[in-house]
Structure 1
Amino acid sequence: MNISVLGCGRWGSFHAWYADHIGHTVTLWGRKGSGHLAALMEQRKNEYLTLPESVKLTDDLREAVSAADIVVISISSQQLRAFCRDLAALGLDLSGKRFVLCMKGLEIGTGKRLTTVFYEELGSAMRVAVWVGPGHVQDFVRGIPNCMVIAAREMKLTRELVDTFSSPLIRFYYGEDLLGTEIGAASKNVIGLAAGMLDGFGYSSLKGALMARGTHELSRLIEAMGGDRMTVYGLSHLGDYEATLFSPHSNNRRFGEDLITGKPFAKLAEGVYTVEALMDLSREFHVELPICATVYAIIHDHKDPKEQLTQLFLRATKSE
């Protein structure tokens, strides 16, 4: 199978490494002038992994897309709409290709899911899925296995992609609720920010309460949006809590901790953007999201973190 991965950051380079690892023919694309791509071209490695020579590197988007049966997109979620327009501008017939979105987020300003953005820009007839779930690049490249989920609007596509990407290293499950899978995957990064803030204050024992209440409030949102409220308890959200709320490799957890301790943090933490979209959805669907609202108040309104977190976990007595 010819697989092209678009985006050569941490996860993009991993998806290329993984697809090659399980026997596919792989092209990895990065933007011209990208520091990530330049480092890979020069040394075939980054801080996470070493790419074998069998993975082709290119900055030619047309070449990468043309060569692919399956196109994996692994970029910042907020860049997806503009990137889809770049794909459309190529003038290629994309109808026979399968696309996989390997990122987690919601569009700021609209609250739209990433597959919705993709369909709006490239057409509702396109075949697109999402690949989400727990795991860290650092663990996968050491041979530590994990479980992940692929979800699409049509189960036929989900099954095709699970068959293509399954291996002893990653066991894939079929996602049957695309909406819930996308909302769950995006929102777990916001819960990760809150977890990091608790770590920063030395309140890590509150993570149990955070997990219980986080899943509850987001299950209510998913249900209000028309999804299955139980999806949030699967791999896209609760199943990803260990990797996001506890692991030292979690960018979102680290961002929250460093915010409290006053350290600079330069890497991408998608939850910072996702919480804006979640607050828009909270208003649109009239669902209270107290954890998300607290994270938003701390990060975007610059409210006092200790006061906000104390209010969150010591709210007026109520039924669980």
Structure 2
Amino acid sequence: MKATVLGCGRWGTFHAWYANRIGHDVVLWGRTGSRHLAELQEERKNEYLTLDRAVRLTDDLEAAVAYADTIIISISSQQLRPFGKQLAALGSLHGKQFVLCMKGLEIGTGKRLTEVLEEEIGAEARIAVWVGPGHVQDFTRGVPNCMVIASREQALAKELVARFKSPLIRFYYGADLLGTEIGAAAKNVIGLAAGMLDGYGYGSLKGALMARGTHELSRLIEAMGGDRMTVYGLSHLGDYEATLFSQHSNNRRFGEDLIRGVPFTKLAEGVYTVEALMALSQQYGVELPICATVYAIVHEHKSPKDQLMQLFLRATRAE
């Protein structure tokens, strides 16, 4: 079987590594001039893993898309719309399956990533998302985990689960695409808050953060028409260990470094996602106290300590 991976950052490279490991013939694409692609072409490795020589590297997008019917996309979520326009311009997408391996929401619209890609490449497109817990650093050491693949087309989700399952990753198929996408995106925002607590040495508050975080997001998912119980699955609550506690979590590290005044240069998707969540909060009339607190700290530059204390010392109410 063949697979194309578009995006050669941390997770894109992992998906190429993984697909090759379980027996797929893989092409990995990166943008022309990408330092990530140049590093892989020169040394076949990055700071996370080493790629087998069988994985073909290219900066030719048209050739990469033509190579396989299963197209895995792993890029910055905010770049998906312009990238979708590039894909649509190729004019050769019939019969392709697109698997989005990013977690985010579009700033300005609050749209889910499947909605964004569908708008750009056509409503008939077969699109799924692949999300859930795990870190590249653990997977490449052979540490197994569970993940979820969801699509509005259940047959596609089941087909992809069968194609990519292995002893390293046990897959479940998601029945609620909306809840899976919102939950996966929002857990990064909760991760920012967890890092801020770590920065102050308030890690014991993470239990409360987890309990209240799942609750507020369940209300939003329900208001948007999804299943509120989805937030308690692998895409959100199931990913909390990897996002709220792990040293590998970019979102947690961003929050901690912000409190400590240390510059953080890697991608932390929660920084962008919280903007979209606040727009959805207003649109659907759902209060999101944790997300609002993170937004006030990160984007309005309000006092982190004051905001966090106000959050956890809110007026007494029933749980």
Normalising by structure 1, report the TM-score: 0.99
Q: Does 1:133 align with 2:132?
A: yes
Three-state SS of the structure 2 residue aligned to 1:223 is helix
Other-structure match for 2:273: 274
Superposition pairs for residues 177-216 of structure 1, below 5 Å? 177-216=176-215
Three-state SS of the structure 2 residue aligned to 1:253 is helix
Deviations 1:245-292 (A, max 9, x none): 000000000000000000010000000000000000000000000000
Letter in 2 for 1:207: K
Letter in 2 for 1:125: E
Please state how far the C-alpha of 1:130 moved relative to its aligned partner.
0.1
Q: Does 1:256 align with 2:255?
A: yes
CA–CA separation in structure 2 for the residues paired with 1:116 and 1:85:
13
Other-structure match for 1:26: 26
Other-structure match for 2:173: 174
Q: How many residues align?
A: 319
Other-structure match for 1:87: 87
Does the CA-based 8 Å contact 1:10-1:48 persist in structure 2?
A: yes
Other-structure match for 1:61: 61
Does the CA-based 8 Å contact 1:152-1:158 persist in structure 2?
A: yes
Other-structure match for 1:303: 302
Other-structure match for 2:220: 221
CA–CA separation in structure 1 for the residues paired with 2:36 and 2:117:
25
Three-state SS of the structure 2 residue aligned to 1:26 is strand
Other-structure match for 1:44: 44
Deviations 1:154-180 (A, max 9, x none): 110001000010000000001000000
Letter in 2 for 1:103: M
Three-state SS of the structure 1 residue aligned to 2:213 is helix
Deviations 1:62-106 (A, max 9, x none): 0000001200000000000000000011121x1201110000000
Superposition pairs for residues 304-319 of structure 1, below 5 Å? 304-319=303-318
CA–CA separation in structure 2 for the residues paired with 1:240 and 1:25:
29
CA–CA separation in structure 2 for the residues paired with 1:138 and 1:88:
34
Other-structure match for 1:6: 6
Please state how far the C-alpha of 1:149 moved relative to its aligned partner.
0.1
CA–CA separation in structure 2 for the residues paired with 1:174 and 1:105:
19
Unmatched tracts of structure 1, length 5 or more: none
Does the CA-based 8 Å contact 1:103-1:132 persist in structure 2?
A: yes
CA–CA separation in structure 1 for the residues paired with 2:121 and 2:96:
12
Letter in 1 for 2:152: R
Does the CA-based 8 Å contact 1:152-1:175 persist in structure 2?
A: yes
Does the CA-based 8 Å contact 1:134-1:243 persist in structure 2?
A: yes
Three-state SS of the structure 2 residue aligned to 1:28 is strand
Does the CA-based 8 Å contact 1:95-1:127 persist in structure 2?
A: no
Does the CA-based 8 Å contact 1:188-1:241 persist in structure 2?
A: yes
Deviations 1:184-242 (A, max 9, x none): 00000000000000000000000000000000000000000000000000000000000
Unmatched tracts of structure 2, length 5 or more: none
CA–CA separation in structure 2 for the residues paired with 1:17 and 1:150:
18
What percent identity do the matched residue pairs reach? Answer: 78
CA–CA separation in structure 2 for the residues paired with 1:173 and 1:96:
24
Please state how far the C-alpha of 1:315 moved relative to its aligned partner.
0.5
Letter in 2 for 1:51: L
Letter in 2 for 1:114: L
Other-structure match for 1:106: 105
Letter in 2 for 1:168: P
Letter in 2 for 1:91: G
Does the CA-based 8 Å contact 1:5-1:26 persist in structure 2?
A: yes
Three-state SS of the structure 2 residue aligned to 1:263 is coil
CA–CA separation in structure 2 for the residues paired with 1:264 and 1:121:
35
Three-state SS of the structure 2 residue aligned to 1:278 is helix
Please state how far the C-alpha of 1:10 moved relative to its aligned partner.
0.1
CA–CA separation in structure 1 for the residues paired with 2:68 and 2:240:
33
CA–CA separation in structure 2 for the residues paired with 1:62 and 1:276:
33
